[in-house]
Structure 1
């Protein structure tokens, strides 16, 4: 039931997936993964408080759940609560076993950009790239932070780095092209 629900959500059938996930939660209410999947479904539906409630439940059941910390941080980003988002991302990357910390570091950098703390944003993007050198969103976002600091040549380099590892990522091309106009 959980896998079906999660698959439906990922395929874009969020309400159908939510229905299956709610059934799964009734059968196994202490399963942290189900609560995380419910939280993601509610986030996708714009039901941010319900999403946060389920992320908190997942983390209550399993405090060392870095994916849930990272994903809860994305809800706080959507709510423009930058400090709460950063705290979540820090919890995620604080778990040495987290296999994809580049996602949380990249998200943390986005929060720092919103706070206009560009040096901290750049440091976060560097950490993302140290973890996953070919993660082009981090290079692209670093370029954005560098632009905000009027460091044009470095921004161009960051966009070109992103394009070199992922020529299909459109945001890198868009931002690089803007600098040449």
Structure 2
């Protein structure tokens, strides 16, 4: 009986040691994976994508359950124009963490680039559904642009207003104000278009296309003096762009 008890205790002890060793190995593997991940991110910031990919692949070997590894892999593959692998990486990130808002947003932009509007909107909404997401204005801005591209101005406006409501201090505010102005412009509501274009350039005076649309809105209301000022700003900011060239044409016609 004593021998049986000793044997049982030995088995329990060995089991505990095995579990401890396994946990230690897992912890070390996660730490190694994190180190490779951080190196990979550093290479991404330097736009050294092949080097970044090598580090991320090492990170994957040590911890294939880390959704961040696949998110950054997706970024690298996208930068290297490897679309299928980019899609697969973001989908794997979402498989591992369903409410991974950043991955949903990035995947949505890939679908948006392919004009797969339904899939794009589905992922933007999934990104926004996470109440802990720090930058909900980003997917809402993207969703607004999808609706605008579809000429669904009501839903586009709703997305932009939600973006400003959820994240009033978003860095995208100048772009959102400009896009709201574009909606009013398309609806021939030029006073409101002017108001939002002005808000856009007041926040960021370097958005030359907002100045251009502001000038066109002034022209629509017969305010040639302010139109001229807006077009002059466009020419000064971006003379070689299509906006700058068209602004120059407007200026010559206003003399």
TM-score, with normalisation over the residues of structure 2? 0.65
Match of 1:79 among 114, 117, 125: 114
2:182 alignment partner in structure 1: 144
Residue 170 of structure 2 is aligned to residue 132 of structure 1: no
Uncovered stretches (5+) of structure 1, i.e. residues with no partner? none
1:105-124 aligned within 5 A: 105-124=140-159
Q: Deviations over 1:5-50 (max 9, x none)?
A: 2232233223332232222222221110111111112222222221
**Whole-Å separation in 1 of the counterparts to 2:202 and 2:215:** 15
Residue 99 of structure 2 is aligned to residue 64 of structure 1: yes
Residue 46 of structure 2 is aligned to residue 11 of structure 1: yes
List 4+ stretches of structure 1 deviating above 6 A.
none
- TM superposition shift of 1:108: 0.4
Match of 1:90 among 116, 120, 125: 125
Q: Secondary structure at the match of 1:53?
A: helix
Q: 1:9·1:15 contact (CA, 8 Å) conserved in 2? A: no
Report which of the two structures shows the higher radius of gyration computed on alpha carbons.
Answer: 2
**Whole-Å separation in 2 of the counterparts to 1:58 and 1:40:** 12
**Whole-Å separation in 2 of the counterparts to 1:4 and 1:171:** 38
Report how many residues are paired. Answer: 181
Q: 1:129·1:139 contact (CA, 8 Å) conserved in 2? A: no
Q: Deviations over 1:104-143 (max 9, x none)?
A: 1100001111211111111101111122334222112222
Uncovered stretches (5+) of structure 2, i.e. residues with no partner? 1-35, 218-226, 228-249, 251-255
**Whole-Å separation in 2 of the counterparts to 1:76 and 1:50:** 14
**Whole-Å separation in 2 of the counterparts to 1:123 and 1:102:** 12
2:242 alignment partner in structure 1: none
- The alignment's C-alpha RMSD in Å is 1.9
Q: Secondary structure at the match of 2:69?
A: helix
TM-score, with normalisation over the residues of structure 1? 0.89
Residue 88 of structure 2 is aligned to residue 53 of structure 1: yes
**Whole-Å separation in 2 of the counterparts to 1:57 and 1:115:** 29
Query: Which one scores higher on RCO, CA 8 angstroms, separation ≥ 6?
Result: 1
Q: Secondary structure at the match of 1:29?
A: coil
